[in-house]
A = this chain, B = another copy of it.
Amino acid sequence: MTTAATDPGEACNNLALRRAARYLGATYDRALAPAGLRATQFSILQKLSAYGEMTIGSLADMISMDRTTMASNLKPLAREGLVTVEPSAADRRARIVALAPDGLSRMKTALPLWREMQARFEERFGQGEAARLRACLDGVLDTGFEPWAE
């Protein structure tokens, strides 16, 4: 036998989360691949579509991503003409991210793929279970550790 029964690392909350995130991330990536989008890219376009243009920082906060990470994630999208990143007229420090026409149509192409992936996941995992899991995960963000502070 292995020493699995005595492995305390099995109880690591972070490892459990990362494993599941890698797994589901790859699954969603694959589901969205026909539209030429990664799951994260879809999230970005979807948020821009739902909330309209905003600064890089606001967009980053919206999906709990670091500002600098969002900035580099926007580069491939801007290169493909799916989003525009323009200096703000009102505040010249800020750069405003907006969904370009191609980005909107790309998002609309990906939307049914996303919906089908959601449905497939919830079919296997349980619709109520999935909703509870999402609520639970949102609760993790409210534990108040604020790892980004100082």
Contact = CB atoms under 8 A, between A and B. Distances in A.
Interface string A101-130: 000000000000010001011101100011
A124 B13 CA distance: 13
Contact of A16 (B11, B15, B122, B137): B137
A19 B18 CA distance: 11
A23 B147 contact: yes
Given A13-B134, A18-B25, A133-B13, A125 B147 contact: no
- Report copies per complex: 2
Contact of A17 (B9, B20, B122): B20
B137 A9 contact: no
Contacts of A125: 13, 139-140, 143
Contacts of A40: 18
A144 B118 contact: no
A72 interface: no
B124 A144 contact: yes
Contacts of A15: 39, 43, 63
A7 to B, nearest CB: 4
B121 A13 contact: yes
A136 B130 CA distance: 9
A47 B129 contact: no
Contact of A46 (B9, B52, B136): B9
